[in-house]
């Protein structure tokens, strides 16, 4: 199996893009932060967009910090802030969750919860499986794949195994669902504690042809593309979270992100977050 090598040219171009965007005069403007914060506090109609704008800012900081400074503690704290913004948005008076979690990228956002190593936030996120509609139990539905992650994060192995066996016994033959069969194979291996199976599934995701095909699925954000492989990193981190310290040799999976030691202290990036404890 030939695994994808890091494209150093694309890596440098992407990192330069993120850095240039960060250095633009408006992105970290104190006045902009003040306006966004006030709209959140006042629960304006577009408060959810303001939360997302702050998450966008945090993710930029995380990527720039990691690839320029390699400070794992700062990286964990940025991941914590990204995750806690999601948590705050779900609390009163915002109560914003709904079907936001019904599409696939919501599963991949779990990477930032796991990277934070903040157990209460991770456990909160794992319990969001209840928000899915009944259609998420149909292997042909788009929600089925997303719900798999939340069940796996919760560690409900019997349910996860049954769901994996169901979708793999009658797999989708077209559409995006067909491209997630490797992911379901990983989840099945995780549910069974099959370390070799987990490693093999993640390695398949990083196989050159598979990697290139999935790049066209737009699974990465503009800040992570060409720098990491989010699904492969997520699944490796998920395995570590459940006690399986698997090793995958790939530059697309930052090894330093895998260990599960929490920070002694987590710092909230924005003042309005501080009144929400978890």
Asked, as a colleague might, if the bond just before 93 is cis with ω within 30 of 0, I would say yes
What mean pLDDT is reported for the chain? 93
* Integer Cα distance of 156 and 163 in angstroms: 11
| Residue 27 confidence (pLDDT) | 72
What would the pLDDT profile of 136-186 be if each residue is shown by its tens digit? 899 988 789 999 999 999 999 999 999 999 999 999 888 788 889 999 999
Backbone phi, psi, residue 229, to 5°: -110, 105
CA dist 217 and 154 (Å) reads 27
pLDDT of residue 100: 53
pLDDT tens digits along 102-139: 577 889 999 999 999 999 999 999 998 777 888 889 99
Sign of CA dihedral 18, 216, 232, 269: positive
As a whole-number percent, the residues of the chain with pLDDT over 70 amount to 97
């Amino acid at each position: 199996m030939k695994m994808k090598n890091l494209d150093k040219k694309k890596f440098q171009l992407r990192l330069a893009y993120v850095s240039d965007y960060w250095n633009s005069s408006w992105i970290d403007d104190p006045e902009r932060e003040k306006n966004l914060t006030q709209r959140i506090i006042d629960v304006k109609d577009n408060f959810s967009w303001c939360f997302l704008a702050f998450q966008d800012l945090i993710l930029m900081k995380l990527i720039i910090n990691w690839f320029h400074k390699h400070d794992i503690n700062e990286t964990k704290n940025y991941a914590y802030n990204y995750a806690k913004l999601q948590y705050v948005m779900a609390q009163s008076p915002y109560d914003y969750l709904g079907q936001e979690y019904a599409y696939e990228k919501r599963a991949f956002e779990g990477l930032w919860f796991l990277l934070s190593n903040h157990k209460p936030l991770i456990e909160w996120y794992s319990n969001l499986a209840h928000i899915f509609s009944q259609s998420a139990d149909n292997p042909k539905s788009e929600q089925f794949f997303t719900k798999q992650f939340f069940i796996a994060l919760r560690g409900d192995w019997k349910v996860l195994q049954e769901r994996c066996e169901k979708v793999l016994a009658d797999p989708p033959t077209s559409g995006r669902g067909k491209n997630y069969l490797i992911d379901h194979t990983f989840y099945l291996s995780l549910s069974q504690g099959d370390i070799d199976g987990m490693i093999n599934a993640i390695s398949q995701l990083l196989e050159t042809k598979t990697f290139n095909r999935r790049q066209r699925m737009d699974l990465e954000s503009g800040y992570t593309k060409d720098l990491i492989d989010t699904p492969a990193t997520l699944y490796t981190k998920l395995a570590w979270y459940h006690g399986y310290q698997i090793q995958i040799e790939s530059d697309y999976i930052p090894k330093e992100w895998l260990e599960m030691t929490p920070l002694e202290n987590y710092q909230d990036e924005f003042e309005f977050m501080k009144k929400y404890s978890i």
